Structure 1
C-alpha cells in the first residue's frame, strides 16, 4: 500500500472512471450498493480531495486552492503518479499526512544537510565551490526530484509534528561571504531553491568580501533562512589559552546568546538554528545552545538525520569534492530497515 493509502482506493478493477471515483470514498463495494454515478469535478472526504485535472492545472495551483499554500505542492506530487496531471484525470490532494516520521515497512526517512562556504567562478580552496559545479549540483537536485526545506520544516519533522517532502534536503551555507549573494543566490533562484545561511555577526558588512545586513534582509524576503554561526567564530569546544572556567563560560554565552540577540533584532525574527563554529561542541556548549532558545543545531559530522536524531547534534556533509558521484552519495534520504 502506498504511504497514504491512496492508490489502493483506485485499484478496484472492472469499474468505469466514475465508479472508481465513487469507490475512492465508499470502498470497493458492489456497484448495486452505490449511488448512481454523477459527473463531477471534485470529490471530498475528511482526509482527501479528488480533483479532475483541467488544462493548466499544476500541483502548486492545487496546493494553493485546497491546502492554502503553493509551497505545499509536494503533498500533491507525492500522493500521485507522475502522469496524474493530465486533463480529465483525477489527482489526489491529501488534506493531512499521518506518517509524520516517514516510516514504511522498508525503513525510514532521513534528511541530508549539505554544507557550503563560499563561491566563485573558479576556486583554489576546498571551501570554495566553483559556480559551474554548484549549478550542476542544483540541476541534479531539480532533475531528480529533491525538495529543499528550511529549519522550520526540519523542526516540525524532528518534533514528530508534521511530515516533510519525500527526498527532502537542506542546503546550508556558513560564514556569510558576499559570494553567497553574488554567486549562489542567482543560481538557487534559477532552480527554485532557497538555502539556510549561517552568519557570524562580527563579519557581516566588514569588507567587500562580506555579506551585508541589507542583503540578508533581501534574502530573507526571498525565503532564505538566516541562522547563527556565533559572534566571532571562535572554537567553542575548549578553553582558549589563559582562559579560566569563568572566562570560558562568559565567552560561550556571548558567542551563543549574543549572536542570537543581534540577529533577532536585525532581522526581526526568533532565530531557531545554530551552527557550531568548525562543527565543534561539547555538552556545555549544547546545553547553552538550548538555553539560548535555539531549537536545533548543526555539526559537520557526516550523515543524514532521521526524525529521532538529536536536534542539537544534527549531522551535515561538507561539500568539498567536485565530482557528481560523490555529491550524489551525500543525498541519502532513506535508510533501509525492513520490518518484515
Structure 2
C-alpha cells in the first residue's frame, strides 16, 4: 500500500507541475511573441522603398538595398514589416523580402534616445556600412526628409538605421540643429495594403517627354520619350513624377505629360538590369532609338549625344539597349563605344622663355600650351568633375556626361598659382591638387615665384585658390626616389601609414591619394586604405569605367611633346 500510494502522489505531483508550467507558458506567450518579432531578420530581395504612414497616407522616406539584412520591430499583418527609422518607424513591403536566420552586418548601434540634431538630404543620399575594407551601400535617405544624427566623423554623419550604424556623406545633406522634434504621432494601425506603385503598369507620352536622372546634384536629361510612345512604370507615388527603370538605376517623367495605360502596345520587352558594363555614346544628332518588333523600324525615344548608354547586346550593325523595360535599337553608324572618363595629370608650368633646365622634361608644360588645352575643353563643353563624382561613377551609383573630365595636379607646386589657377578660373573649371604636405607646411606665405626653382604653394595660396582647387594627399614626406625606387616602397608598412595619416593634418578633409612616381604594390594599397583614403590615383595610362578599381585610377598625361591633335584625340570620350 505504501508503494502504491507513493506512485499516486508522484503522478499527482507531475500533473500539478504540468498545469503550472502550462499556465506559466500562457502568461509568457505575449512576451515570447514580442521577443520573437523583435528578433526577426529580413533580407531584401531587391531595392525596396521605406514608407512613413503617420500622416494617414504613405510617404517614402528612403530605400533598403538589395541583399541587405534588417531587424523587424513588428510584423504588420500579411503585407508589411515595421522597422525602426529616423526616431520612429518605417514600413517595408513583405513581398520584396524574405525571413533569414541572422543579420549579415556587424555594426549594430542602440536607438538614438535623445535627439537634438538632424541631417536633411539635399538629394537622395546613400547610406554606407564601413565595417569592411570598402564602403557598402545598404540604404538611402529620401530628399528633404530629416533624420537624426548619431555621431559625426570628419565628412561623414553616423546615423542609426534600424539598429544599424550607417554613414552619410556631408556633400549630400545639410545639418540642422534643434530645428526638428521627434514626431510621436502614432502610426495608422493598418498601412495601405497595396501601393499605387504601378498605376496600370505603363505610361504613354502625351507629348515629347524628357526622362531625367536626379542622382547628381544637377538633374541630367537622359532621353526623350516621343509622343504616343510607351514605357513600363516602376513607381508612380510621387505627386510630380513617374519612375522608370534605366539600366540599374531610374529616370523620371513628369506626370502631367503622360497618361497611364493598362497594357503596352509594344512587344519588345527587355530587362534593363541585365545590361552589360559596356556603353555607347551617340555621335549623331539623329540619335533615335527604334522599336523593331514590327516589320518596319519605328522610333520611340531620342537619345542625348552627351550621354553614355548601357549595352544589352549587338545584333549585326545595330546596338541594342533597354529603356523602361522596352528594347531599343540604334545603328552603329550613329554611335561610338564609350571608353570611360579621362583623368588628366599635370605638374609644373613655365613660360617658354623660362624653361631652361626644364626644357623637354615630361612633367613641365608651357603656360601657352596649357591655356590652349583648357580653352579646347571649354569650347567642347567638357564638364570638370570632382573626386566624389568620379568615385560614385566608378561605383556605378551615378552616370556622368560623356564629355566629363577630371583635372589633377601633382606635387602642389607654386607654378600652379602663377599659370594654372587663372586659366582654370577663367574657364569655370574645378581641379584637384595632390600635396606633399611637408613642403606646403614649410612654404612661406607671400613668396615670390622663381622660375628656376620648384616651390610649393603655402597655406595662404591654398586658401586663395580653394574656389578652383580641392586638396588631396601625395604623402607627407615620402615623395623621394632611392635608386629609381620610391621611398614609400622601401620603408616599413607602419611608417607608411603613419606618414599618410600625418599628411592629413594639413588637409583633414582629404579622401583621395596619388602614388608618388606612380609606384605602388599590394601593401601600398593596403596602407592607403588603412589611412582612410577612399580612392587612389596611379600613372597608368587609360580611362575609368564603372566597377574599375578605385585604388588604381588611371590617368593621361600631356607634356611639351604632346601635339594639339594628340591632345584632342586623347580627351575624346570615345575611340574613333
TM-score by length of 1: 0.65
| Unmatched segments (≥5 aa) in structure 2 | 1-204, 211-223, 231-239, 244-251, 257-281, 287-302, 312-318, 320-335, 448-454
Q: 1:184 to 1:49 in 2, by over 3 A?
A: farther
- The two structures have a TM-score, normalised by structure 2, of 0.40
Asked if residue 168 in structure 1 is aligned to residue 400 in structure 2, the reply is no
Return closer, same or farther for 1:121/1:291 CA change in 2, 3 Å cut-off. same
The answer to whether structure 1 residue 309 and structure 2 residue 553 are counterparts is no
SS of the aligned residue for 2:506 comes to: helix
* Whole-angstrom distance in 2 between the partners of 1:308 and 1:44: 30
Structure that is richer in strand per residue: 2
Residue number among 378, 383, 387 corresponding to 1:142 in the alignment:
378
Closer, same or farther in 2 for the Cα pair 1:132/1:285, shift >3 Å? same
Aligned to 1:318: 557
Q: For the Cα contact (< 8 Å) 2:514–2:536, is it kept in 1? A: yes
| Residues 1:211 and 2:457 are matched in the alignment | yes
Give me the whole-angstrom Cα distance separating, in 2, the residues matched to 1:24 and 1:317.
Answer: 37
Q: Deviations over 1:87-113 (max 9, x none)?
A: xxxxxxx9xx9xx98534464450111
**Does residue 328 of the first structure (1) align with residue 573 of the second (2)?**
no
Once the 2 structures are TM-superposed, how far is the Cα of residue 292 of structure 1 from its aligned partner?
A: 1.2
The structure carrying a bigger helix percent of its residues is 1
Alignment of 1:255-334 (within 5 A): 255-264=499-508, 269=509, 271-320=510-559, 321-334=561-574
Please give the alpha-carbon distance, in whole angstroms, between the structure 2 residues aligned to 1:256 and 1:228.
Answer: 8
Structural mapping, 1:76-225, within 5 Å: 102-104=309-311, 105=319, 107-122=337-352, 123=355, 124=359, 125-204=361-440, 205-206=442-443, 208=447, 209-220=455-466, 222-225=467-470
The structure with higher relative contact order (CA 8 Å, sep 6+) is: 1
The gaps in structure 1 that reach 5 residues or longer are: 1-11, 13-17, 30-42, 52-77, 83-93
What is the deviation of 1:240?
Answer: 5.7
Query: SS at 2:406's partner residue?
Result: strand
Change (3 A) 1:186 1:168: same
Cα distance in structure 1, aligned partners of 2:404 and 2:433: 17
- Go from structure 1 to structure 2 and tell me whether the alpha carbon gap of 1:139 and 1:257 turns closer, same or farther (over 3 Å shift): same
| CA–CA distance in structure 1, aligned partners of residues 570 and 502 of structure 2 | 33
Shift in alpha-carbon separation, 1:306–1:335, aligned structure 2, 3 A? farther
Mapped to 2, the partners of 1:167 and 1:253 lie a distance apart of 36
Deviation at 1:256, TM superposition (A): 2.1
Q: Is the 8 A contact 2:421 2:468 kept in 1?
A: no
CA-CA distance at 1:28 after TM superposition:
3.9
The alignment yields a C-alpha RMSD, in angstroms, of 3.7
Deviation, structure 1 residue 228: 0.4
Q: Return the offset for 1:19.
A: 5.2
Q: Could you tell me how far 1:24 is from its partner in structure 2?
A: 5.5
